Amino acid sequence: MQIINKINSSAGYLALGFALLTNQALAQTGLPKKTLQLAETQADLLLKETPLAAQRAAVPGKAPLVSPRTLSPTGELVAVPARDWTSGFFPGYLWLLYQASGQPKWKAAAQEYTARIEPEKTNATTHDMGFKVYCSVGTGYRLTQDAHYKAVLLEAARTLSTRFNPKVGAIRSWDHHRETWGFPVIIDNMLNLELLFAATRLSGDSSFYKIAVAHANTTLKNHFRADYSSYHVVDYDSATGRVVKKNTHQGYAHESAWARGQAWALYGYTMCYRETKNPAYLRQAEHVADFLLHHPNLPKDLIPYWDFNAPGIPNEPRDASAGAVIASGLLELSTYSAQGATYRRQANQMLDNLAKSYTAQPGGSHGFLLLHSTGSKPANSEIDVPLSYADYYFMEALLRRQALEAGKKLSVR
């Protein structure tokens, strides 16, 4: 009963977000005109470029390429199949453009690209169900209340639940690198919990909620250092639940603070507080925010280097994607925390700086919006490039800021 009461409370808060919005209501959430115009110009281009890139890179017998992800080292557009962890961000971004503008063409495009992601709902080999299905289908459901989308979300949540190990108390992240990890759990996985919380809300089945809370609690216990920075990967013994080791895969070093990992932690525990009202999650989100915002290696424009402990600072690549995730998380956190005014002011500064210094020229970068993100520096992959998830969280943050400025509750999923 306690769980259901919490769910009902959360559902009440989210009523605005799940209400069917008319085009007029959507348009009233408008972003700064210049930013919205640039986003639409770029998205038009990306819609033209993506099919061409997918056709050029198509391999007979291989899965079709369905979404744009980034640019190659030679500047070519890179498209990915639905199984790629980033595949859901572009359809989600199109849905956010529809929310921002009220233009039916963005809804039609979002529906088309979302349909390409739906088969992932039964892919039990991945923990990235939230990133893929919830950012696309979940955002579409929020804006349309389409019963088909609801069914897809519930099936995706059931699939994700199969990766939960009750002995560990967490959802397994990767199946690859089995020679390195037995049962790896990455901090990124916190964001996939949002799908499970939504599934309980949509179905009344609290088993999804219990899995999400168990995972959040296990991560809270084992992923964080004394200064509230997060490890990237914690490896567990699947038979005993014992922690085997703590290390990194995309950060500079095992004990360093990989920027996007810290962003996932901030966003994840803020979201978990929204869904549970557990004060421990709010405190954790505040601690992570304070670690980030007071770190001596945070640049003046608040857009982090790819790792807070990267050895070549200040001559290290930035990660605009981490900046966008942090800004979006801070805006939601500002609605819960006693430090809300500070968090909101700093999030706004981050967004202003991203818009001023990190956006593409109209018609450039094959249609991506944000520049200067870093995917995996240790792998020499996606360094100082656009990334689809940077665009998604940047647009989400801008819409959250606009809602707060209008005195409205956040339209969260």
283 is in an annotated binding site: no
Catalytic-labelled residue, pool 188, 307, 319, 391: 188
The H or E element spanning position 235 is: strand 233-236
Token representation of residue 283: 């405190």
Which residue is listed with tokens 């992959």? 381
Active site residue 237: no
Q: How many CB atoms lie within 10 A of CB 88?
A: 32
Residues 6+ apart with CB under 8 A from 108: none
**CA 178 and chain centroid, separation:** 25
128 is in an annotated binding site: yes
Determine whether 119 is exposed, middle or buried from the number of CB atoms within 10 Å of its CB (0-12, 13-18, 19+): middle
* Contacts with 298 (C-beta within 8 Å, 6 or more apart), sequence order: 292, 304, 308
Q: Within its chain, how far is the Cα of 101 from the centroid?
A: 22
How does 354-377 read in b/e, with b if 16+ C-beta sit within 10 Å?
bbeebbbeeeebbbbbbbbbbbeb
Does the annotation flag 248 for ligand binding? yes
Which residue type occupies 196?
A: L
290 is catalytic: no
The runs of H, that is alpha helices, within 58-192 are 89-101, 104-115, 129, 139-144, 147-161
- Active-site hit among 84, 128, 235, 391: 128
Q: Write the CA distances from 256 to 12, 165, 227, 283, 310, integer angstroms.
A: 39, 28, 12, 22, 8
**At residue 245, what are phi and psi to the nearest 5 degrees?**
-165, 160
Asked if residues 345 and 293 have their Cβ atoms less than 8 Å apart, the reply is no
Contact between 109 and 44 under an 8 Å Cβ cutoff? The reply is: no
Query: What b/e string do you get for 139-177 counting C-beta neighbours within 10 Å, with b at 16 or more?
Result: bbbbbbeeeebbebbbbbbbbbbebbbeebbbbbbbeee
Contacts of 244 (CB under 8 A, 6+ apart): 181, 182, 235, 236, 237
Axis crossing angle, helix 207-222 with helix 2-13, rounded to the nearest 10: 90
**125, 272, 152: which is closest to 209 by C-alpha?**
272
Binding residues: 128, 188, 248, 260, 264, 376
Binding residues for substrate: 128, 188, 248, 260, 264, 376
Q: Residues with catalytic annotation?
A: 128, 188
